[in-house]
């Protein structure tokens, strides 16, 4: 969302970095279409290992460009839908930082600000022409913390984007959120936070962040089956939530792990429900959810889609959990 340069490259690297690991996606233009050329994940032993880990990943994928789209979690960014006068883009660009500073205890000089116009909200009222925009702002100091380790690896960051918005871009590329006027919900379960976004016409129109993530899922399982963190990480691909139509595992340990994880996903499902209720309370008429799309590293247990679908009574799918964000980052600015 926060684009630092506007020139369109021929390829881009998308990087999603968490305390647990790094995902990298390399996307290049071929025959006027964006193609995913490589996807790599590497765990992080410690935070200061980011530059060295990135260098190893670059040696493996050997990109022909060092343009990078880098994610920041929604918890670090101010996001608000506001109404502005329907002015030319350059004039709105001058107004946006002033608007952001009204809501934050920071000066314009301390902020990186960007916005996206919601084209279908243009209207006329008694005070003149209006349009709604999604306003995003991040402290320059916080942005620097995310950018510096990437620069230290010899890369250049040309786009800083919100992780949940990047994931939505990947959904749109697959045609998952593109039907006009229909409402979708994106649930990006990251390492420490979950970003819930209401999407209409392929655009996020409402966002909410909750401090529940993969970290909580792993810790809940660790506390219930009394294994080491590393052992639980290895076990998780075998864990499946018990939902109607499925059978319990023959392993008591896997069943215990499933119940521990279920308590966290129950909390996440409750937050999705509350988000939709609040969104509908602000809308002239209640909106029906067409589909819930779950992604992110916290989508790490089998049958999450079936569990959330049963709780919300809404079609639910899991989409490319590890790489949706990094692919979306790499896509930004490559296609029209």
Please spell the DSSP secondary structure of 288-330, one letter per residue.
-EEEEEEESTT--SBTHHHHHHHHHTS-EEE--TTTHHHHHHH
Cβ-based neighbours of 209, under 8 Å, separated by 6 or more: 73, 74, 75, 193, 194, 195, 196
Strand partners, 240: 302
Domains of the chain plus CATH, in order, are: 1-174+322-336 (3.30.420.380), 206-318 (3.30.420.40)
Exposed (0-12), middle (13-18) or buried (19+): which is 234, by Cβ within 10 Å? exposed
Query: What one-character DSSP code corresponds to residue 9?
Result: P
Alpha helices in 155-251 (DSSP H): 163-173, 214-225, 229-235
For every one of its 336 residues, what pLDDT tens digit does the chain have, with 9 covering 90 and above? Answer: 454 444 566 889 999 999 999 999 999 988 888 899 999 999 998 878 999 999 999 999 988 888 899 999 999 999 988 899 999 999 998 888 888 888 888 888 898 999 889 888 899 988 889 999 999 999 999 999 999 999 999 999 999 999 999 999 999 999 999 898 899 999 999 999 999 999 988 889 899 999 999 999 999 999 999 899 999 999 999 999 999 988 888 999 999 999 999 999 999 999 999 999 999 887 778 888 999 999 999 999 999 999 999 999 999 999 999 999 999 999 987 865
How far is 235 from 217, CA to CA, in rounded Å? 12
Decide: residue 265, CB within 10 A, 0-12 exposed, 13-18 middle, 19+ buried: buried
């Amino acid at each position: 969302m926060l684009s630092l340069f506007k020139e369109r490259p021929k390829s881009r690297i998308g990087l999603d970095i968490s305390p647990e690991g790094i995902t990298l996606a390399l996307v290049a233009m071929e025959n006027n279409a964006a193609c995913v050329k490589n996807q790599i994940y590497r765990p992080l032993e410690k935070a200061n290992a980011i530059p060295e880990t990135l260098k190893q990943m670059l040696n493996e994928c050997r990109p022909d460009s060092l343009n990078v789209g880098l994610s920041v979690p929604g918890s670090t960014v101010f996001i608000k839908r506001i109404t502005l006068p329907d002015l030319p883009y350059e004039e709105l660009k001058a107004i946006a930082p002033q608007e952001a500073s009204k809501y934050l205890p920071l000066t314009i000089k301390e902020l990186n600000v960007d916005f996206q116009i919601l084209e279908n909200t243009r209207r006329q009222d008694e005070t003149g022409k209006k349009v709604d925009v999604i306003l995003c702002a991040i402290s320059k100091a916080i942005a620097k913390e995310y950018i510096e380790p990437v620069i230290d690896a010899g890369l250049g960051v040309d786009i800083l984007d919100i992780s949940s918005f990047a994931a939505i871009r990947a959904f749109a590329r697959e045609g998952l959120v593109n039907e006009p006027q229909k409402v979708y919900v994106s649930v990006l379960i990251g390492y420490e936070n979950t970003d819930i976004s209401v999407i209409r016409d392929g655009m996020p129109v409402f966002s909410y962040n909750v401090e529940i993530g993969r970290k909580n899922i792993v810790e809940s399982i660790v506390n219930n089956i009394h294994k080491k963190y590393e052992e639980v990480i290895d076990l998780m691909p075998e864990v499946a939530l018990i939902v109607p139509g499925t059978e319990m595992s023959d392993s008591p340990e896997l069943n215990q792990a499933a119940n521990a994880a279920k308590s966290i996903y129950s909390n996440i499902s409750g937050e999705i429900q509350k988000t939709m209720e609040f969104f509908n309370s602000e809308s002239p008429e209640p909106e029906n959810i067409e589909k819930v799309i779950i992604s992110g590293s916290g989508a790490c247990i089998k049958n999450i889609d079936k569990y959330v679908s049963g709780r919300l009574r809404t079609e639910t799918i899991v989409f490319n959990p590890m790489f949706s964000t990094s692919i979306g980052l790499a896509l930004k600015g490559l296609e029209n």
